[in-house]
Amino acid sequence: MSSYKDKKVISIGTVHELTGLSERKIRYYEERGLLFPERTKRGTRKYSFSDVELLMKIADKREEGVQTKEIKEEVRNENKKQMRNDMLRGQINAHFNMRK
Amino acid sequence: MSSYKDKKVISIGTVHELTGLSERKIRYYEERGLLFPERTKRGTRKYSFSDVELLMKIADKREEGVQTKEIKEEVRNENKKQMRNDMLRGQINAHFNMRK
DNA sequence: CGTGTAAGGAATTCTGACACG
DNA sequence: CGTGTAAGGAATTCTGACACG
């Protein structure tokens, strides 16, 4: 269901190219808790395609003048919804003993 | 049909971590024409998840003792098959005027 | 609050070459 | 042929800070 899209493998320079956002902005949104890239052993940030998509949404919100704090809440709510769906799906699958 | 899987965004260090192959090997297989990463403006190589999968297949073949030249042919043949399928699908879709 | 920038260091990547075989 | 390694340079990324507002 996820795999490639959620695998954190993209470095910040490439994320910059993909989104058009400055590295400063990208790091700042992380600092504000809007997204959570992984770190390699040497400490460089790695992003997923999902992160890239999220950053583009964030950019849209920012253009509308929405503050990072509010965006953070929206993101959190979307994740909650998503998790509810995932759990529901999990229960359904368990109930019918469905596979893959 | 492709999108994320074929997007070239992964740098060689990360490919090394994902595949376990040395950077030397990864560059060498490119030199032999087994795969074709893209280059950023500054010249660093960027790989896709498809490239990563291909590299793991290559590693298997190499362990079996298959030479790069032969692997290159096998890869080429698989791509041909794939293209035939894609074209066939394209014609079918065109015939029925299907979308997406 | 959100973002730009200069600063210095550490880690990454690149190429061409020598080595062994 | 396939792969390791040392070499030097160029580009990347990181953090903490100052700036403006």
For chain B, domain boundaries:
3-96
Q: Is A79 on the interface with B (CB under 8 A)?
A: no
In the predicted model, residues of chain B with pLDDT beneath 50 are: none
Q: Compute the mean pLDDT over every residue in chain A, rounded to the nearest whole number.
A: 94
A74: tokens are 């929206």
Pick from A4, A100, A1: nearest CA to A52: A4
Nearest chain A residue to B5 by CA distance is A4
Contact list in B for residue A5 (CB cut-off 8 A) is 4
Give me the CA B80–C1' C12 separation in Å, rounded.
35
Q: Is A11 on the interface with B (CB under 8 A)?
A: yes
Confidence at A56, pLDDT banded by 50, 70, 90: very high
Give me the CA B2–C1' C4 separation in Å, rounded.
37
Interface touch B11/A7, C-beta < 8 Å: no
- CB-nearest partner of A4 from B5, B13, B46: B5
Give me the CA A50–C1' D8 separation in Å, rounded.
38
Residue in this structure with the two tokens 């949104």, named with its chain if needed: A29
Q: What is the 3-state secondary structure (H, E, C) of chain B?
A: CCHHHHCCCECHHHHHHHHCCCHHHHHHHHHCCCCCCEECCCCCEEECHHHHHHHHHHHHHHHCCCCHHHHHHHHHHHHHHHHHHHHHHHHHHHHHCCCC
pLDDT at A100 over 90: no
Calculate mean pLDDT across residues A47-53. 98
- Residue A3: what pLDDT? 87
DSSP assignments along A32-68, one per residue: TTS---EE-TT--EEB-HHHHHHHHHHHHHHHTT--H
- CB-nearest partner of B9 from A5, A14, A40: A14
Q: Is A12 on the interface with B (CB under 8 A)?
A: no
pLDDT at A55 over 60: yes
φ, ψ of residue B9 to 5 degrees: the values are -135, -5
- CB-nearest partner of B49 from A4, A11, A46: A4
CATH of B3-96, one of 1.10.10.10, 1.10.357.10, 1.10.1660.10, 3.40.50.150: 1.10.1660.10
| Span B54-63, pLDDT tens digits | 999 999 999 9
Confidence at A19, pLDDT banded by 50, 70, 90: very high
